Amino acid sequence: MKKSKLTSLVAVIMLILLAATGCSSGNSATPGAGTSDTSKPASGKLDKVTLQLKWLPQSQFMGYYVAQAKGYYKDQGIDLEIVPGGSDIIPEQQVYNGVANIGVTWVSSLMKYQSKGWGLVQVGQIFQKSAMLLVSKAATGINSPADLKGKKVSSWFGGNEYEIYALLAANGLNKDTDVKLVQQDYTMNQLLKNEVDAASAMTYNEYGLLLESGLKDSDLHVINMNDAGVAMLEDCLFVNSDWIAKNQDLYVRFLKASIKGWADACADPEAAGKVVYNVDQSVSLAHQVYMAKEVAKLVVPKGFDPAKIGYIDMAAIKQTGDLAYKYGLLTKPAVISENTVTSKYWTEATAK
């Protein structure tokens, strides 16, 4: 009997630890600890840099993979390690803890961490537009945001729900009473099986999954956050404030190589998709190429000068911060200053 008590005690402790791992998914590895702040690319000896992605290796991050494949980082004297993300990997925590030097995350999520006191600073903006959609089957009859009333809507949550909150509020709907919000897994099965009426989808990923499952554009109704005026910025680059203070030049070199990689990738998404597929075959080549083409539209939207890849549009940043505050992600207005978001490295990296 004593043994069983012990077992249960251990189980309770495990429960606590299990929950606790949520706030420290990282391990004790601290790459880049010895990164030098020499201003010239050292001949022969490369500076090690670790990049933490927000999600699995896929064309969403094709610019880094293309730059890696083409040796752009090496040209800048950088030995880059790209660390994939996952559902329990939080880039902000990884970068703050020093598991990675540079991270990719969504701007609203970064703002949340900054508002809680985490010393992180945004140093680049890769996606110029929001890729977030709310997709429903045409038969459900959700033709406009107002039609969401009384419907079951799914989101990934964990900070990804605020564009939907904003959308609902902008259309006079109460998120708690007018719709039923549920958690969405990383497939589109809930929508396909009609378990939800509308599901979150990224233009470059989940929407493609729906098309690959046999649905046509005409079978689907889409609410685009950009059109609805509630777009929040997504994939950006950020670093630990202490780290950047000592590694400004290193970061500028990283950004130079990355911009070059993104430019190549957006110019030829087909090839970029193949590069990513060579790194990770967990999804099909066709899906990687589809994603690459969609991501290119976010990085270099129509009318956007490819030379400005990585540009931080302060107006869009402000809108993101305002929406995040207005709809409850932030408890106080976002502080937008040189300490939280800065274009100076981008300016340096793109200077002729």
Partner 1 sequence: MKNKVINLLWPLAFGVAIILLWQFGIFHKLLDLKPFQLPVPSEIASTLAANLPKTLHDCGVTISGALIGLIIGSFMGFMIAAMATFFPKWGYGGMIVVTALNAVPIVALSPIMNLWFSTGMAQKIGVVTVVCMAAMAINAYSGLNNLKPHSIDLMYSVAANKWTIFKKLRVPNSLPYIFTASKINIASSIIAAIISEYFASSTSGLGFGIKDNLRKAEMAMGWSYIVVASLAGVILYCIILLVERDAIKWHASQK
Contact residues toward partner 1 (CB under 8 A) are: 1, 4-5, 7-8, 11-12, 14-16, 18-20, 22-24, 90, 92-93, 96, 109, 112-113, 115-118, 154, 157-159, 181-185, 189-190, 193, 195-196, 329
Name 125's bridge partners. 236, 310
Least distance (Å) between residue 321 CB and partner 1: 15
Nearer to partner 1, 192 or 279 (CB): 192
Report the SS3 class of residue 50. Answer: strand
Query: What whole-number distance in Å separates Cα of residue 320 and Cα of residue 232?
Result: 5
Q: What is the β-pairing status of strands 235-240 and 102-106?
A: antiparallel
Query: What whole-number distance in Å separates Cα of residue 154 and Cα of residue 199?
Result: 5
Task: List the structure tokens of 224.
Answer: 């685009």
- Token pair 């043994």: residue: 3
Least distance (Å) between residue 56 CB and partner 1: 16
- Token pair 């994603």: residue: 291
Query: What whole-number distance in Å separates Cα of residue 268 and Cα of residue 276?
Result: 13
Task: List the structure tokens of 24.
Answer: 């420290």
DSSP label at 334? Answer: -
Task: List the structure tokens of 138.
Answer: 């045409």
Least distance (Å) between residue 158 CB and partner 1: 4
Nearer to partner 1, 190 or 342 (CB): 190
Nearer to partner 1, 158 or 172 (CB): 158
Least distance (Å) between residue 97 CB and partner 1: 8
Least distance (Å) between residue 303 CB and partner 1: 34
Nearer to partner 1, 30 or 350 (CB): 30
Nearer to partner 1, 15 or 286 (CB): 15
**How many other CB atoms are there within 10 angstroms of residue 281's CB atom?**
11
**How many other CB atoms are there within 10 angstroms of residue 314's CB atom?**
12
Least distance (Å) between residue 11 CB and partner 1: 3
Nearer to partner 1, 63 or 159 (CB): 159
Least distance (Å) between residue 86 CB and partner 1: 12
Name 180's bridge partners. 152
Nearer to partner 1, 25 or 248 (CB): 25
- Farthest-apart Cα atoms in the chain, separation: 75
